[in-house]
Amino acid sequence: MAVRYIPLALKHTATPQVEHLALLAGLEAAVRGSLISVMPLYIYEVLGSAQATSLAYLGAGIVSLISGLMVPWITTFVPRRWAYTGGGLLYLVGMALAIHGSNLSVHLALICNAIATASLFVCFNAYVLDYVTRENLGRSQSVQMLYAALPWSMGPMAGMGLYYLWAPAPFLVAGGFAIALLTAFWILRLGNGKQIARARGPAVNPLGYLSRFFRQPRLIAGWFFAVMRSCGWWVYVVYLPIFCVEAGIGDMVGSIALSLSNAFLFVAPQINRYARGLSVRRSVRLAFAGCGTLMLAAALLSVLPWVTVVLIFGSSFFLVMLDVVGGLPFLMSVKPSERTEMSAVYSSFRDVSGILTPGAAWLVLFVLPLPGIFAVSAAGLFASWLIAGSLHPRLGAARPSRGGLPSSSV
């Protein structure tokens, strides 16, 4: 009888629902949202420069990329539920190291958090591909954004406020959310996902599935879109706050801008509805063009710091739009028999962007001031706009041969 008192979102059903997966996305957003504005400035404070901060993120990105690509191989020996749990526990280790506060422990904390994010992302996307139909992937993405809206909009500003009250506070709060995430995961009992029989053949080695990825242009394009979208967020999250500090307009401005921009997630279902009506190709191109234009304008007008902040803030709307629809070209092209492996490839966009953005920033800062990073980011976004022109015009539409109609959005 006790089960009747469990919140509806945590009641287990034979088939996990979109809302169950969105709950996990929301709790992980609470972990990361609590620290997203704290970590860059905390590391900048400990290491003393934007270039040193870039190198720290670069190292964490390399380690995270390797570990993320190893997850499919690891899950052949370790059940997926334990791989997901291990990622959640790594968040707790990262929080403890960050609280320690030494130069070395800060680097290790960044690495632990990056590996945790990559591991959870691989496993989570495998669960999504297991339990969400192709026609409902757009709805699933928008519901995930809706559940994550409050953590992402409140977290950055709350995290900085807690940091000023007591430096360990945001790390303790994030650790609490990590415990809540693991608790919800085990209550939902997602297990190891659906098991799909494979054709006979040799066991897949940790990187063997990359050859199949490189033979599928649609997957390559979808992955590239995810990388460029993530690079845009990296610039927004890491380098906008540093720009505000160096321009003398305060270290809270970036956090406030991030919190306000993440409030766009509340309209994610409406964005999804509009984007699906416009077509995936047109909506993806519109988002890349809008974001690139505003980033470039911010770089050109960087002598006016407040104008730059407003322009970068405006670009975040298009980044949120890309969060809703930018992953669909990849997810809609994945074969059912390659869910776990291609989830690992897809998740690598975080790590590749975590290598590409600070690496490029480190080089740019040798020859240009910090706003040069905005201009380089704009170039990548415009390149994505060009490539998105090759997407099929009917991508994401229901297939008449299967008798389906487009699923209604939330």
Q: What is the DSSP string of 282-330?
A: HHHHHHHHHHHHHHHHHHHTTTSHHHHHHHHHHHHHHHHHHHHHTTHHH
- Locate 112 and state its tokens: 């632990």
The rounded distance, in Å, linking the Cα atoms of 87 and 121 is: 9
The rounded distance, in Å, linking the Cα atoms of 4 and 329 is: 40
Q: What is the DSSP letter of 215?
A: T
- Locate 143 and state its tokens: 């519901």
- Locate 221 and state its tokens: 């394009």
Give all domains of the chain, ordered by start, each with its CATH number.
Answer: 17-193+209-395 (1.20.1250.20)
Contact 106, 42 (CB under 8 A): yes
Q: What is the DSSP letter of 408?
A: P
**Residue 368, helix vs strand vs coil:** coil
Q: Which residues contact 303 (CB under 8 A, 6 or more apart)?
A: none
272-278's contacts with Cβ under 8 Å and 24+ in sequence apart are 272/138, 272/139, 272/141, 272/142, 272/324, 272/325, 272/409, 272/410, 273/142, 273/409, 275/138, 275/321, 275/324, 275/325, 276/138, 276/325, 276/396, 276/406, 276/409
> What are the backbone dihedrals phi and psi of residue 158, each rounded to the nearest 5 degrees, phi first?
-65, -40
Query: Which residue in this structure is represented by tokens 């059903």?
Result: 13
Neighbours of 122 (CB within 10 A): 31
Contact 155, 176 (CB under 8 A): no
Nearest to 118 by CA among 358, 352, 380, 377: 352
> What are the backbone dihedrals phi and psi of residue 126, each rounded to the nearest 5 degrees, phi first?
-65, -40
Per-position pLDDT tens, the chain of length 410: 444 444 544 544 557 788 889 999 999 999 999 998 899 888 888 888 888 888 898 888 888 888 888 887 888 888 999 999 999 999 999 999 999 878 889 999 999 998 999 899 889 988 888 888 777 777 887 888 889 888 988 888 899 899 989 989 999 999 999 999 999 999 988 877 665 434 444 445 545 677 778 888 888 888 999 999 999 998 998 899 889 988 988 878 888 888 888 788 778 778 878 877 778 889 999 999 999 999 999 999 999 999 999 999 999 999 989 988 888 888 777 777 676 677 777 877 877 888 899 889 989 998 999 999 999 999 999 999 999 988 877 665 555 544 443 333 32
**For 313, how many CA atoms within 13 A lie in the half-sphere containing its CB?**
18
Query: Which residue in this structure is represented by tokens 């968040």?
Result: 91
- Output the pLDDT for position 395: 67
- Output the pLDDT for position 378: 97
Q: Which residues contact 336 (CB under 8 A, 6 or more apart)?
A: 129, 196
